[in-house]
Amino acid sequence: MFSKWKSKKEEKHTGHTIEIMAPISGEAVSLSEVPDETFAGGHMGSGIAIRPSEGILKAPFDGTVAHIVKSSHAVILEHSSGVQLLLHIGIDTVSLKGNGFVSHIASGDQVKAGQTLIEFDLDVIRAAGCDTISPVIVTSTEETPPQVNGHYGQVTAGQDLILTVASK
């Protein structure tokens, strides 16, 4: 009855389901396997992690680059529904200061599903003593966070479903 007074932004954030494709090829595993309590404990949000088999990060959906970290080891993408996704390559990779990472995007860019966002060198990451496991996190500032369901196993970037996100 009062829906005509809802803001456009409010309407965008309610009652939708988004399917998120794998942004990296490899093995999709539970966040609890990430050797960093901030991610493993869900403090950054709900999601999944991927043990990469190749060093290419692709857009998991059409959206906007909300932010890319200067060292190119992490990016936040925003879906048209308002859902934001943190894609974090490896653990403690900020210490590499961009070494081994090549970004093909900038904050504010529009991206298409399957588009290459960042290339990363798994050997450089491992040689620095960093874990390559890569969290994929649905961030939420909403009072009622979305329901996030993970799909595990071997995945191919841009082809296999890894997360289903349903907002309330």
CATH number belonging to domain 13-166 = 2.70.70.10
- CA-based nearest residue to 63, from 41, 85, 30: 85
Are 37 and 118 a contacting pair, CB within 8 Å? Answer: no
User: What is the CA angle 35-64-20, rounded to 5?
Assistant: 55
Q: Quick check: is 104 catalytic?
A: no
What pLDDT, on a 0 to 100 scale, did the predictor assign at position 167?
A: 77
Q: What is the largest CA-CA distance in the chain?
A: 60
Catalytic residue (choose from 13, 73, 79, 88):
88
Query: Cβ of 158: how many Cβ atoms within 10 Å?
Result: 18
What pLDDT, on a 0 to 100 scale, did the predictor assign at position 71?
A: 97
What pLDDT, on a 0 to 100 scale, did the predictor assign at position 1?
A: 35
What pLDDT, on a 0 to 100 scale, did the predictor assign at position 11?
A: 40
What pLDDT, on a 0 to 100 scale, did the predictor assign at position 8?
A: 37
For 32, phi then psi, to 5°, come to: -60, -15
pLDDT in tens, 124-155: 999 999 999 999 999 976 666 788 999 999 99
E strand or H helix at 12 = helix 8-12
- CA-based nearest residue to 133, from 47, 63, 21: 47
pLDDT in tens, 9-68: 344 445 689 999 999 999 999 999 999 999 999 999 999 999 999 999 999 999 999 999
